[in-house]
Structure 1
Amino acid sequence: MEIKGFSTSAVAAGIRYKDRLDLGLIYSNVPAVTAGVFTTNQVKAAPVIIDQDRLRQGRAQAILVNSGCANACTGVKGMENANITSSLLATRLKIDEKMVLLSSTGVIGEQLNIGAFRSAMGKLVEGLGEDNFDSVARAIMTTDTFPKVVSRVVTIGGQEVKFMGMAKGAGMIMPNMATMLSFVITDAQISFPELHDSLKQATDRTFNRITVDGDTSTNDMVLVMANGTAENAWIDEDNPIDKQLFQDTLEGVLKELALQIVNDGEGASKCITIRVCGARGEAEAEQIARTVANSPLVKTAFFGEDANWGRIFAAMGRAGVRFDPSRVDIAFGDVVIVRDGLAVGPDAEKAATKLLKEKNITVCIDLKDGTDCEEIYTCDFSLDYVKINADYRS
């Protein structure tokens, strides 16, 4: 799918490895309304700091993204290098440097290979075209095993509106946000306050509901660019129906990307949904679900296909939420293995163990203490996760 007014490009710049796509560009022919959400980690990479400042204007025209080097924990030199890269691109595109947003992923603590950027920038800009979106998705991969891309078309205000999104992430994942990057382009005509609000709400319910290993990174961001070429009626504070449709579509795009990240979790063999219902509030349900989802003992049990519900119960008990253990039900899929806080029996556990051989698993926890439900999406911990992260820098 193509979106009028947007073009993309990706090249193998040799930032860290030879002959591997590692530098990508997303470009809008006109200044696009742009919003972003970023890592909450106190240690922020240079591109995150720069983008947060530049996005105060609510407009951007280009996103320059590299893999191979995170440009995090690189001090003043890292900031200088980041600014050099945006200046190189702005000069080539003949746009204001403040209209360039930056994004990096890779090894923390190393300086950018500025020579690689200088050598590749001309080829990168010359390669701009309407059909390179997937190539940019490949350029931002690190330990990912596949590029993550989603597209949607929806009718808003009588006009066809298109969305295209990409993401990278497989490890160091637990947003508020995670070692993940995501970029969405759309031809919707929308005001900045509505775009920013829609993005924040959509992110809270998607990327902020996934966890691979409980680690929050230094470089995480989600950026959305809307160039208005669909010429739909303006989505603003006076158009709540269209805003809701826009937000629902954006959330759908982000959720599919988020689930792709979980499915690609480093060394993962299973995608697991932890659903907590019967809670006194959404926050309490989410807190319990997140604690269970982040438990290494729970995650390794899933890898071993062991219906060890005791580990789930133990994780719930340290979540910091008051509940009555004697009222709790736990089910794997449609197999109830705990009812009113007690084991149902060996037959149920045997059936649950059989279910754990599947790729997609849902754990349902009913507190029977209220009406609120929330979900967190995670994966199992395998031997490969340790292997991947033990020699990541080599």
Structure 2
Amino acid sequence: MGINLSNFLTSKSHDRKMGQYQDLDHLDGLAVSSVSANLYNSKRDDLAMFYFRDGANFASLYTQSKILSENIKWNLSQKTQKIFSLVVNTRNANSFTGEQGYKSMQHLADLISKQLTEKQKEDENDPKIIKPKNLIFGCTGTIGEKFPEEKIKSKIPELIKNIKYTQNKYIWMKVALSIMTTDTQPKIAMEECKIGSTTVKIYGVAKGSGMIQPNMATTLAYVFTDADISNDVLKKLLKKNIENTFNAISCDSDTSTNDMISIFSTGKAKNTLIKTINDKKIKSFDEALNSLLLNLAKRVVADGEGASKFITINVLNSKSELDAKKIGFSIANSPLVKTAIAGEDPNWGRIIMAIGKSDVDINLNKLSIKFGDLVIVSKGKIHNQYNEIEAAKYMKGLDINLSVDIGNGKKSFTVYTMDLTNEYIKINSDYRS
């Protein structure tokens, strides 16, 4: 994987392109585990379990692709108020695998629910019967290959045996690494806030590096909190906060068949149960959740396949947020814009092109463009102090900020993306080898 755990665990803060890695510790009500099921024909962990010994309230959003992976179909069919386990495998997407792929989910759910029920009897004073419907799955990897059911089933006893009821930064990093595919960096984040007078934790782990332009979902992202929040409120919070975070990123404009984001609430913080989105006590949690999701989303972009630059596109003063979003993604998804930035070429004409093809009405006399603090276009004309040398110097940075002022309204939207390099082609031309 090119990652040495000791690099991440020797100090309290871990500097990387996206700032610091946070040291996640224990979150009450959650246990985690990871093992190698030999899905990559190597010793790396590739199978993870998140276990809620007392169950957890939850909400999920899934891909808007018209072709759904079999695990997403399974998850959508489970009508339950509590989840006891999330199991995630890498290397195989279980997509375009048909009836057999879905049956594999059933077989795994049957096996895992029985073995977790036995663990309940061993570990709990008030053991619960865990049913297949209390489990959901995340799958990521190659589409169209037969799902490795037997390999995974053979490792379930070890996965459950390895469950750690108390987490530390090592365990969190290990599980974050276990769900990676072409990622080069694990994605973890944390926030703390208050609900009333009660301090609560929010932890998040994600994976994603390519095939990324989510739509009301994400790549794979999982959020855990010890707050006590109802399923309905969790769903509303997730829908609200996905819009300017995971729904504001694009690496390559492709939406996966497997995209999902889930949030789980163990209730162990013992705050008064939040039953309505209008409860004023939820405000701090709402803000912290948005911060955590944006942190994870940016980490996905920063680790985009072959990325050498992190690009922020601010579309300002638009007639509507939808128009601003269209323009932002038109720029973000333009191969010509992305390759120019990779080549450190301040070719602002390509941005003009991308704005023009966004299907948004533009008054050129009001259009302005900036690279960082450098004004390139002002009121529809090249700025009289535009300096190509200064612009080229700016493009050599790792973080590129583009601002597009439409000048015909008050709405804005920010899109996050990456450049397009030869390394992206190399990674994706040998993805399965």
Normalising by structure 1, what TM-score?
0.97
The answer to whether the 8 Å contact 1:169/1:181 transfers is: yes
The answer to whether the 8 Å contact 2:176/2:187 transfers is: yes
| 2:102 corresponds to | 79
| 1:271 corresponds to | 310
| 1:330 corresponds to | 369
| 2:197 corresponds to | 158
| 2:62 corresponds to | 38
2:402 maps to amino acid: V
| 2:336 corresponds to | 297
Q: Aligned partners of 1:382, 1:165: CA distance in 2, in Å?
A: 29
| 2:415 corresponds to | 376
Q: 1:130-145 alignment to 2 at 5 Å?
A: 130-131=166-167, 132-145=171-184
Name whichever of 330-339 and 230-239 sits farther off: 230-239
The answer to whether the 8 Å contact 2:201/2:226 transfers is: yes
Which residue, out of 225, 246, 257, partners 1:218?
A: 257
Which residue, out of 21, 32, 50, partners 1:26?
A: 50
Q: Aligned partners of 2:426, 2:72: CA distance in 1, in Å?
A: 29
The answer to whether the 8 Å contact 1:263/1:271 transfers is: yes
Q: What do residues 142-166 of structure 1 show as CA deviations (whole Å, max 9, x unaligned)? A: 0000110011111211111011100
Unaligned segments of structure 2, at least 5 residues: 1-24, 118-129
Name whichever of 37-46 and 115-124 sits farther off: 115-124
Structure 2 residue 150 is matched with structure 1 residue 115? yes
| 2:115 corresponds to | 92
Q: What do residues 205-246 of structure 1 show as CA deviations (whole Å, max 9, x unaligned)? A: 210100000000100000111010001122122752222222
1:384 maps to amino acid: E
Q: 1:1-394 alignment to 2 at 5 Å?
A: 1-54=25-78, 56-94=79-117, 95-129=130-164, 130-131=166-167, 132-176=171-215, 180-237=219-276, 240-344=279-383, 347-394=386-433
Partner secondary structure for residue 60 of structure 2 = strand
Partner secondary structure for residue 273 of structure 1 = strand
1:281 maps to amino acid: S
Residue 342 (structure 1) shift: 1.9
| 2:4 corresponds to | none
Identity, % of aligned positions = 38
Unaligned segments of structure 1, at least 5 residues: none
The answer to whether the 8 Å contact 1:262/1:379 transfers is: yes
Q: What do residues 181-202 of structure 1 show as CA deviations (whole Å, max 9, x unaligned)? A: 0111101111111110001111
Q: Aligned partners of 1:316, 1:81: CA distance in 2, in Å?
A: 46
1:368 maps to amino acid: G
Partner secondary structure for residue 180 of structure 2 = coil
Residue 326 (structure 1) shift: 2.5
The answer to whether the 8 Å contact 1:15/1:112 transfers is: no
Q: What do residues 51-79 of structure 1 show as CA deviations (whole Å, max 9, x unaligned)? A: 1121x424211000000100000000110
Partner secondary structure for residue 211 of structure 1 = coil
Q: What do residues 272-323 of structure 1 show as CA deviations (whole Å, max 9, x unaligned)? A: 0111111011111111111111100000010001111110011101101101
The answer to whether the 8 Å contact 2:80/2:134 transfers is: no
The answer to whether the 8 Å contact 1:190/1:235 transfers is: yes
Change (3 A) 1:313 1:47: same
Q: What do residues 105-128 of structure 1 show as CA deviations (whole Å, max 9, x unaligned)? A: 000001221221122111100111
Q: Aligned partners of 1:84, 1:2: CA distance in 2, in Å?
A: 31
The answer to whether the 8 Å contact 2:70/2:105 transfers is: yes
Query: How many residue pairs end up in the alignment?
Result: 393
Name whichever of 306-315 and 13-22 sits farther off: 13-22
RMSD, matched Cα: 1.3
